[in-house]
Amino acid sequence: MAHVGYQEGDRFDIPKHILIRHVEGPYDDDSISGLVVKSDKIEEARPPVVFNVEYDMDEQDERWLEMHNAHRKEEQAEPIKPALFEITMTQIEREYYALEKKIPKPNPRHAQITRPRSSSAAAVNGEPSGPADEPDTKCAVCDDGDCENANAIIFCDGCDLAVHQECYGVPFIPEGQWFCRKCKEIGRGTPTCVFCPNVDGAFKQTNTMRWSHLLCALWIPEITIANMTFMEPITDVEKVPQSRWRLKCYLCQQNMGACIQCGNKA
């Protein structure tokens, strides 16, 4: 276990005549696999560190491992130790990271959108958009294509949804991939908005675990958004009067969802 970063005993003695080589460069460089410990005595040299165990088990992992070991015990198999679990998960994550970098980027769904899939990562790293980001890309909530550093347009890496940070409730752009609420919860599934028949657009969940367009929630006066920073959850659906649910939309000619009406009844 020592060659992957685990201490073999409770007592740790610093070996004599050790040199820890300092490696220049970023820590996530593929060429760096940990600190290499060298000794002036070849016979006492420890094996080099293959990789450092970066995965840290949480309570959910511990519960799963307990259940899995109970199943292995029924089959008269040796239990899996937490240290071995962390080593395995670290190796899986490293292998997946290396595989993901080799996967070719898919072509955009629409010909007019030629942005990279990692545009969210580019935004958080301050990389220039370049000529590939055409001005036709607009926010799915406010329908505006203008943006600034503090309120950038970010793209979902699952469905290509384009939204402003403030419009969709993303105060900080995460490093790496970013997924909208729909892609996080149901992946490639198609949610049904409780207020309209449209299946596209920026979705958020209600406090009763139903789905609604964020745009619908902003326009229906009886609806409120509990947290305006994260723009979710959508609440007070039950306060929408029955008269709205009975209206027929002038545009789509469907009696589905809740319609809004112009305040000028003249």
CB 147 within 8 A of CB 153: yes
> Which pLDDT does position 222 carry in this prediction?
94
Q: What is the CA radius of gyration of the chain?
A: 27
* Averaged pLDDT, 230-245: 94
The distance from CA 30 to its chain's CA centroid, rounded to whole angstroms, is 23
* Averaged pLDDT, 216-236: 94
**Alpha carbon distance 151, 194 (integer Å):** 28
> Which pLDDT does position 147 carry in this prediction?
85
Kindly report the pTM of this predicted structure.
0.50
* Averaged pLDDT, 200-220: 94
CB 173 within 8 A of CB 123: yes
* Averaged pLDDT, 35-42: 43
- Amino acid residing at 257: G
pLDDT-based confidence at residue 114 (cuts at 50, 70, 90): very low
CB 256 within 8 A of CB 244: no
Ramachandran quadrant class, 236 (left: phi over 0; alpha: psi -120 to 50; beta: rest): left
CB 125 within 8 A of CB 104: no
> Which pLDDT does position 10 carry in this prediction?
64
Q: Between 178 and 33, where is the model more confident?
A: 178
> Which pLDDT does position 223 carry in this prediction?
95
Degrees to nearest 5, angle at CA 146 with 251 and 156: 75
* Averaged pLDDT, 125-139: 56
SS3 content of the chain, % helix, strand, coil (to 5): 25, 10, 65
Tell me the per-residue pLDDT of 151-208, one tens digit each, with 9 for 90 and over. 999 999 999 999 999 999 999 988 889 999 999 999 888 999 999 999 999 999 999 9
CB count within 10 Å of CB 19 equals: 10
> Which pLDDT does position 104 carry in this prediction?
77
In the chain, pLDDT over 90 holds for what percent of residues?
47
Give bridge partners of residue 235 from the DSSP assignment: 224
- Looking at every residue in the chain, the average pLDDT score rounds to 78
Q: Rounding to the nearest 10 degrees, give the CA dihedral for residues 106, 109, 110, 114.
A: -30
Tell me the per-residue pLDDT of 56-107, one tens digit each, with 9 for 90 and over. 889 999 999 999 999 999 999 999 999 999 999 988 988 888 888 888 766 5
Range in 21-30, 67-76, 91-100, 233-242 with the lowest mean pLDDT: 21-30
